[in-house]
Amino acid sequence: MIPYQPLDRSVAGKTVFITGAASGMGRATAHLFAREGAKVMATDMNEDGVNTVVEEIREAGFDDIAAFTLDVGDHDAIKAAVAATVERFGALDILINNAGFARLAHPSEDQYEDIWHDSVNVMLTAQQRLIRAALPYLMKTETGGRIVNIASTEGLGATPGNGPYVAAKHGVIGLTRAMATDLGRDGITCNCICPGPILTNINAEIPDEHKTIFAKRRVPIRRYGIPEEVANVTLSCCLPAASYLNGVAIPVDGGLTIKNA
C-alpha cells in the first residue's frame, strides 16, 4: 500500500498580502494569518484604520506585519504595494483580494453609471491587477502560490437594487475560474469565497432588528456570521495542503444559498 502522505497544514513563514485590511473580514484575516505565523502586509485605503489594525496585532505579540496605504482603484499604487511587500518580506506567497464597498442603486437612477464604474473598478478590475502584479512572486513559491478572491453570495444570485455590486461579484467568480485555469500549471491555486451576511462596517447601518428578522427568515444558522468565520475558511484555502482546491466559489453563508423555504 502507498504510505499515507501527511500534507503541510501551516502558513508559518509565508508572506500574505491582504487588501481592505482596516476593517471587517480583512482585519480578521490579518489577525488570523499573523497568529498562524505568517508575515502580513496589511493594506487599505484607510490609512489610520490599517495602521490601527497593525498596532493591535503587534500589541497581541505578532511583529511580522507591515501596513501600506493602498487604494486598489489605483493601478500604479498596486504595483508599488507589491514591490514594497517583496522589499520588506522578500516574497509574496499568498494574495487575499478582499477590499470592497456596498452602494445601492436602481437602474433608473443617474448615479447607477458612477456606482457601476467604481464597483467594477474596485471589486473586479483591481483583483485582476493585483493577481497580475503578484504573479512573478506567486510563481516562485515552492509550496504553491495561493490566491483567494472575496466575492459574495451576490455573485451567485441577486438582491434588488444592488446591480453594480452583483455584476462585480459575479465577475469575481468568473475571474477566479479564469485564473485557476491559467495558473494551475504554475502550481498556483485561485479560489473565491462567497460570504453571506457577515457583521462588518459594510452593513453597520442596517438596524439590528432588521438583521435579526432577515437572518431568522433566510439563514439556517439563524444569525449573521462574524468576520473570523470567513477568515478561517480563507486560511484553509491557503494551506500548502489545499493544493488540489482550485477554481471554486465557496459560500460561507450559514446555509443561505441552499435554503429554499
**Out of 36, 49, 65, 147, the residue judged to bind ligand NAI by CB under 6 A:** 49
**Out of 85, 125, 200, 234, the residue judged to bind ligand NAI by CB under 6 A:** 200
DSSP letters, the chain, are -PPP-PPP---TT-EEEESSTTSHHHHHHHHHHHHTT-EEEEEES-HHHHHHHHHHHHHTT---EEEEE--TT-HHHHHHHHHHHHHHHS---EEEE-------B-TTSTTHHHHHHHHHIIIIIHHHHHHHHHHHHHTT-TT--EEEEE--GGGTS--TTBHHHHHHHHHHHHHHHHHHHHHGGGT-EEEEEEE-SB-SGGGTTS-HHHHHHHHHHH-TT-S-B-HHHHHHHHHHHHSGGGTT--S-EEEESTTGGG---
**Out of 13, 35, 46, 218, the residue judged to bind ligand NAI by CB under 6 A:** 46
Query: Which cell numbers in the block locate residue 181?
Result: 485555469
User: Counting contacts by CB under 6 A, is residue 195 touching ligand NAI?
Assistant: yes
User: Counting contacts by CB under 6 A, is residue 240 touching ligand NAI?
Assistant: no
User: Counting contacts by CB under 6 A, is residue 203 touching ligand NAI?
Assistant: yes
CA 92 – CA 79 distance, rounded (Å): 13
**Out of 152, 176, 191, 234, the residue judged to bind ligand NAI by CB under 6 A:** 152
Within residues 103-122, the interface with ligand NAI by CB under 6 A covers 122
CA 189 – CA 243 distance, rounded (Å): 7
**Out of 15, 19, 119, 234, the residue judged to bind ligand NAI by CB under 6 A:** 19
Q: How far is the CB of 73 from ligand NAI (least distance, A)?
A: 5
User: Counting contacts by CB under 6 A, is residue 51 touching ligand NAI?
Assistant: no
- Nearer to ligand NAI by Cβ, of 201 and 243: the residue is 201
User: Counting contacts by CB under 6 A, is residue 128 touching ligand NAI?
Assistant: no
Interacting residues of 28 by C-beta distance below 8 A, sequence separation 6+: 226, 227, 228, 230, 231
From 4, 112, 165, 244, active-site residue? 165
Q: How far is the CB of 168 from ligand NAI (least distance, A)?
A: 8
CA 34 – CA 237 distance, rounded (Å): 16
- Nearer to ligand NAI by Cβ, of 143 and 203: the residue is 203
Q: How far is the CB of 54 from ligand NAI (least distance, A)?
A: 13
**Out of 51, 52, 201, 257, the residue judged to bind ligand NAI by CB under 6 A:** 201
4 carries an active-site annotation: no
User: Counting contacts by CB under 6 A, is residue 57 touching ligand NAI?
Assistant: no
**Out of 11, 16, 18, 25, the residue judged to bind ligand NAI by CB under 6 A:** 25
Residues designated as active site: 165
Q: Please give the residue ranges that form the binding site for ligand NAI (CB under 6 A).
A: 19-20, 22-26, 44-46, 49, 70-73, 98-101, 122-123, 150, 152, 195, 197-198, 200-203
